[in-house]
Structure 1
Amino acid sequence: MVDVLSLVLHHDEQAVLCAVEMALEAGVPTKTHVLNLLHRLVDGAPIDQPDVTPPAALSLNKEPEANVARYDGLRTTEGTRHAS
């Protein structure tokens, strides 16, 4: 919160308020998102990006599945540890 408030020392107060409001409306009230929106406002870059619809050729044929047993097999109590 302090980092976001301190942005008014370097940027216009109205731009900071606008970026904070936009981040809250998007449901992502993080410092990184506020900074991203603020820089887009200051640079004049477009804020609203069009929705991306990937072509059908990029769709998954087989959904990935979690295989936690594989990771448990990498962890060993004796010898070399490959993962913790």
Structure 2
Amino acid sequence: MRITCPNCGERDRREFYYQGEAVALARPDVDAGPAAWDDYLHNRDNPAGDTSDLWFHEAGCRAWLVVKRNTVTHAVHSAELAGKAKT
């Protein structure tokens, strides 16, 4: 898979670190039970199809990117700086 970094151009995905979905998770209340914290820390959706993910260009410019891609076809639709992204 190739990701086009807005700063560095097209690069192999091995230059990037995958962080997860580019959405804010609702943090449980401090007094929430162990099951709520376990779900918050460990469980994520694993959708088949189009996603918006957060990637860190670790071996390049060290920018955080929002990458829109398809998890079935591995097609990358776009990549933009996380600070400018509209998710």
- Same fold by TM-score greater than 0.5: no
Structure having the higher helix fraction is: 1
Larger-gyration structure (1/2): 1
Q: TM-score range by the shorter chain?
A: under 0.3
The normalised TM-score by structure 1 is: 0.23
Higher RCO structure (Cα 8 Å, ≥6 apart): 2
Q: Considering fraction of residues, name the structure with more strand.
A: 2
